[in-house]
């Protein structure tokens, strides 16, 4: 199926038409700066701009950095607070004049990673936790290869605040941490996660996963921790895969 996959982030909105079977991009990846303030209406207008520039009139599906349940946004950790309780699928569909699907960004990136990346070998009989380390920490939990959505494990409490405030990639920059120092902090987080979930494997994606080798030696958890393979295209490819799932569901 051909679907326009869009990755909506705090600094950029990126999209490309994806062949969901092969995971290949059929158009060049286009990136437009996220408008500031990134209110629902402004983001919807930028999304329309992106779709027009790509020249696409087929289905559109987006990853979005918040808890999204049945098309409605419920959290706003790193986005404009006016998103809370916005019916995002309705808003985008109305703006584009076509059906638009929206899900959590880490969940959709996890779909791509499980199908085309490091998660391929961990399907039936395993519990996989996919974490994205960027501005925040995103999480996607897969039980027997099936997504358990909206887990938001970047917000478990550490030192009285969300874990992502302590050891996301933006926290590393904010605290001016060396990679080893970051690794030690992230190891504390992984220890907590391991205690809570005991997954079989943890896959690290997002910006900081590109530097995996610089800090992975700090990890003392028993759980196997491996870097993602689909890297910065996971958000776009996974968004398209999510759209395909929704379209198939609608046909049932
Ligand atoms: C948000 C999540 C998102 C993650 C990565 C967190 O701050 O709460 O919904 O998946 O950032 O963007």
Do 67 and 73 form a contact (C-beta atoms < 8 A)? yes
CATH number, domain containing residue 160 = 3.30.420.40
Segments of the chain assigned E as strands? 2-8, 12-19, 24-25, 30-33, 60-64, 68-69, 72-73, 100-104, 127-133, 137-143, 146-148, 157-158, 161-162, 201-205, 224-227
Of all protein residues, the one whose alpha carbon is nearest to atom 12 of ligand 1 is: 65
Is residue 53 located within the same domain as residue 129? no
* Count of structural domains within the chain: 2
Q: Beta-carbon neighbour count of residue 101 at 10 Å?
A: 26
Average pLDDT, the chain: 97
**Tokens 């936790």 label which residue?**
129
Is residue 40 located within the same domain as residue 86? yes
Q: Report if residue 53 sits inside a domain.
A: yes
Number of H helices and number of E strands within the chain? 8, 15
Is residue 23 located within the same domain as residue 95? yes
* Separation of CA 251 and ligand 1 centre (Å): 30
Is residue 129 located within the same domain as residue 213? yes
pLDDT at 251: 87
User: pLDDT tens, 192-251?
Assistant: 999 999 999 999 999 899 999 999 999 999 999 999 999 789 999 999 999 999 999 998
* Separation of CA 111 and ligand 1 centre (Å): 16
Q: Report if residue 112 sits inside a domain.
A: no
User: pLDDT tens, 136-167?
Assistant: 999 999 999 999 999 999 999 999 999 999 99
Query: Structure pTM?
Result: 0.97
User: pLDDT tens, 55-89?
Assistant: 999 999 999 999 999 999 999 999 999 999 999 99
Is residue 133 located within the same domain as residue 38? no
41 pLDDT higher than 80: yes
Is residue 91 located within the same domain as residue 129? no
Of all protein residues, the one whose alpha carbon is nearest to atom 11 of ligand 1 is: 136
Q: Is 89 in the pocket of ligand 1 (CB under 6 A)?
A: no
Q: Report if residue 165 sits inside a domain.
A: yes
Is residue 218 located within the same domain as residue 122? yes
The contacts of residue 211 (CB under 8 Å, 6+ apart) are 179
Q: Report if residue 82 sits inside a domain.
A: yes
Which residues form the domain of 55? 2-105+233-251
Q: Report if residue 94 sits inside a domain.
A: yes
Q: Is 169 in the pocket of ligand 1 (CB under 6 A)?
A: no
Q: Report if residue 43 sits inside a domain.
A: yes
Long-range contacts of 28-36 (CB under 8 A, 24+ apart): 29/233, 29/236, 30/54, 34/8, 34/9, 34/10
Residue 201, both tokens: 């494997």
Residues in the chain: 252
Greatest CA span in the chain, whole angstroms? 51
Q: Is 19 helix (H, G, I), strand (E, B) or coil?
A: strand
pLDDT at 160: 96
Mutation pick for ligand 1 pocket among 69, 106, 131, 205 (CB with most ligand atoms within 8 Å): 106
pLDDT at 244: 98
* Separation of CA 137 and ligand 1 centre (Å): 6
Q: Is 75 in the pocket of ligand 1 (CB under 6 A)?
A: yes
Give the pLDDT band of residue 49 (cuts 50, 70, 90): very high
Of all protein residues, the one whose alpha carbon is nearest to atom 10 of ligand 1 is: 138
* Separation of CA 175 and ligand 1 centre (Å): 20
pLDDT at 252: 84
What is the average per-residue pLDDT within 32-50? 97
* Separation of CA 141 and ligand 1 centre (Å): 14
Q: Report if residue 152 sits inside a domain.
A: yes
Distance, in Å, from the CA atom of 167 to the CA atom of 137, rounded to the nearest integer, reads 8
Is residue 159 located within the same domain as residue 128? yes
Q: Report if residue 239 sits inside a domain.
A: yes
Is residue 16 located within the same domain as residue 56? yes
Is residue 171 located within the same domain as residue 199? yes
178 pLDDT higher than 90: yes
Query: In the 3-class helix/strand/coil scheme, how is 185-198 assigned residue by residue?
Result: HHHHHHHHHHHHHC
Is residue 38 located within the same domain as residue 89? yes
Residue 41, both tokens: 């209406």
Is residue 45 located within the same domain as residue 139? no
Ligand 1 atom nearest the C-alpha of 9 is: 12
pLDDT at 61: 98
Of all protein residues, the one whose alpha carbon is nearest to atom 5 of ligand 1 is: 138
């Amino acid at each position: 199926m051909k679907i326009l996959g869009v990755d909506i982030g705090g600094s950029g909105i990126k999209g490309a038409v994806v062949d969901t079977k092969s995971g290949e991009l059929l158009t060049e990846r286009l990136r437009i700066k996220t408008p500031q303030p990134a209110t629902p209406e402004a983001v919807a207008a930028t999304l329309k701009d992106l779709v027009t520039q790509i020249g696409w009139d087929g289905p559109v599906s987006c990853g979005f950095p918040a808890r999204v349940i049945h098309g409605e946004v419920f959290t706003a950790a790193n986005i404009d607070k006016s998103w809370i309780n916005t019916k995002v699928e309705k808003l985008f569909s109305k703006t584009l004049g076509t059906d638009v699907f929206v899900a959590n960004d880490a969940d959709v990136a996890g779909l791509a990673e499980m199908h085309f990346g490091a998660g391929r070998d961990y399907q039936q009989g395993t519990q996989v936790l996919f974490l994205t380390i960027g501005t925040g920490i995103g999480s996607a939990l897969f039980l027997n290869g099936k997504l358990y959505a909206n887990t938001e494990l970047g917000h478990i409490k550490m030192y009285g605040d969300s874990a992502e405030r302590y050891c996301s990639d933006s926290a590393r920059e904010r605290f001016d941490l060396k990679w080893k120092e970051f690794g030690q902090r992230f190891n504390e987080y992984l220890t907590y996660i391991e205690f809570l979930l005991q997954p079989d494997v943890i896959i690290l994606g997002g910006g900081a996963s590109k530097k995996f080798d610089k800090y992975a030696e700090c990890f003392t958890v028993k759980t196997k921790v491996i870097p993602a393979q689909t890297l910065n295209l996971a958000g776009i490819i996974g968004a398209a895969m999510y759209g395909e799932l929704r379209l198939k569901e609608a046909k049932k």
